[in-house]
Amino acid sequence: MIKAKGYAAATPTTNLAPWKFERRDIETLDVQFDILYCGVCHSDLHQIRNEWFPGIFPMVPGHEIVGRVVKVGKAVTKFKVGDLAAVGCLVDSCRTCDNCKVGLEQYCTNGSVGTYNSRSKDGTPTYGGYSNTIVVHQDFVLSISEKLSLPAVAPLLCAGITTYSPLRYWKVGKGHKLAVLGLGGLGHMAVKFGVAFGAEVTVLSTSPSKEVDAKKLGAHKFVLTSDPKQIKNAKGTFDFILDTVSAPHELKPYLSLLKTNGTLIMVGIPPEPSQVPAFSLMDGRKSLAASGIGGLPETQEMLDYCAEHNIVSDIEMIDIKDIHNAYDRMVKGDVRYRFVIDMATL
């Protein structure tokens, strides 16, 4: 076994603290890389607090992982020692179901294996990126360009692909009016991709202070959702709304901002179910949809697209000891726009 260290939550009510554990020895097709940076995702907090489902403890969170390869299995062809490597939300899947066969491993019918708070096929728990090293099958390791700033690439592995995938699936681009609800980790990436794909992008936010940033990120318009006049003017104007908010919120007011045949796509995961009056969908034949991360081929496509178009996340780097302060600020929406842990501070 490989000795590893990280930060773990021992129970859903205890703070993260240093913890020593073991990773499996590398097998024929495994890649081991030392973790240099790991992004901080809202779902890390949801999971260590058991807000979605009962978790597996101790839990080492983190699924926006980048680093450098230190060892490869005998039959590994995709990577060599010294290469940059990345892992997102998945480390395995059944590989044989209809979804896996077409690269939609995130929707694996038999249950994909999450990077943390999940179980490998042999039943052992998986541990995430708030740690010094990781061992993953090469099929679930992604390549990253040396061209981009490495810490700013980390959030692409979850926030990036979570917003890239639905925009690609619904073919959002030129001629479309796209609204991005919420300007946080996901929202700021949605703005960057929406603009890059040629859509007219409007940020919907409750916070007037986000207007300047929205424009800086490339958004064409801004609607302050706490201002009834601005909401009234925006009614029936969007082809798509990408809802990135993971705090509880009403959907009805936003559905009214869609054009006929418009689609609201949820990518944030509030802990409580949402209520949707049928009328707000019926009036204008609107669709309510959701999308979860992305499969491996599309995640690689997104990383390559970002390298080609020089797209990275806007980040604030933190020491791992400050993780709880970062969580507090993340919950308040006080981060521009993603915290990334410098793993050298572990």
Q: Least Å distance between CB 109 and Zn ion?
A: 5
Binding of Zn ion at residue 90 (CB under 5 A)? Answer: no
Query: For residues 270 and 290, what is the distance between their CA atoms, to the nearest angstrom?
Result: 12
Binding part of the chain for Zn ion, among 28-36, 103-111, 188-196, 215-223 by CB under 5 A, reads 103-111
Q: Are 103 and 297 in contact (CB under 8 A)?
A: yes
State both tokens at 29: 């097709």
Binding of Zn ion at residue 178 (CB under 5 A)? Answer: no
Q: Least Å distance between CB 158 and Zn ion?
A: 3
Residue tagged 């959030």 (tokens): 155
Give the contact letters, 46-85, x = binds to Zn ion (CB under 5 A), - = no.
----------------------------------------
Binding part of the chain for Zn ion, among 88-96, 114-122, 148-156, 283-291 by CB under 5 A, reads 88-96
Query: For residues 70 and 88, what is the distance between their CA atoms, to the nearest angstrom?
Result: 18
Q: Least Å distance between CB 63 and Zn ion?
A: 5
Nearer to Zn ion by C-beta: 99 or 202?
A: 99
How many residues in the shown chain lie near Zn ion by CB under 5 A? 8
Q: CB neighbours of 2 closer than 8 A, spacing ≥ 6?
A: 22, 23, 24, 25, 26, 32, 133, 135
Q: Least Å distance between CB 208 and Zn ion?
A: 27
Binding of Zn ion at residue 183 (CB under 5 A)? Answer: no
- Specify the 3-state DSSP secondary structure of 69: strand
- How does 87-100 read in b/e, with b if 16+ C-beta sit within 10 Å? bbbbbbbbeebebb
Write out the residues near Zn ion by the rule CB under 5 A: 41, 43, 93-94, 97, 100, 108, 158
